[in-house]
Amino acid sequence: AQKITQTQPGMFVQEKEAVTLDCTYDTSDQSYGLFWYKQPSSGEMIFLIYQGSYDEQNATEGRYSLNFQKARKSANLVISASQLGDSAMYFCAMRRGNTPLVFGKGTRLSVIA
């Protein structure tokens, strides 16, 4: 079974600062994918970034980067230069193959001006 753990219910960050959202996962599979989604108050889940278990380099997408430490089974999201519009819920998720995503409980990020 796959499991995602997000231990930070809420985080605060000053505008223009960087913030790291933690995610650890548990799986016995060798091949899997890790995802981060953003959910603003409007409710839609917005895909941010993907990391494959065999990818040797950490994924980056604009201001988002994924700090992937396979041996520690962690996939932390780093948001650089935080903006007020980054305030939202952030979910870490994983899947193997074409199976459904398994989500963590999420972290609420609040960006302070």
Partner 1 sequence: GAGVSQSPRYKVAKRGQDVALRCDPISGHVSLFWYQQALGQGPEFLTYFQNEAQLDKSGLPSDRFFAERPEGSVSTLKIQRTQQEDSAVYLCASRRLNTEAFFGQGTRLTVV
Q: Of the ranges 16-24, 36-44, 53-61, 74-82, which one interacts with partner 1 (CB under 8 A)?
A: 36-44
Task: Show contacts with partner 1 in window 73-102 (CB under 8 A).
Answer: 91, 93, 97-102
Task: Show contacts with partner 1 in window 3-22 (CB under 8 A).
Answer: 4
Confirm or reject binding of residue 64 to partner 1 (CB under 8 A): no
How many residues bind partner 1, per CB under 8 A? 22
What's the rounded Cα separation, in Å, for the pair 5 and 89?
15
What's the rounded Cα separation, in Å, for the pair 20 and 110?
12
Interface pick for partner 1 out of 82, 106, 109, 111 (rule CB under 8 A) = 106
What's the rounded Cα separation, in Å, for the pair 83 and 39?
15
What's the rounded Cα separation, in Å, for the pair 81 and 18?
5
**Residues within the interface to partner 1 (CB under 8 A):** 4, 35, 37, 42-47, 50, 91, 93, 97-106
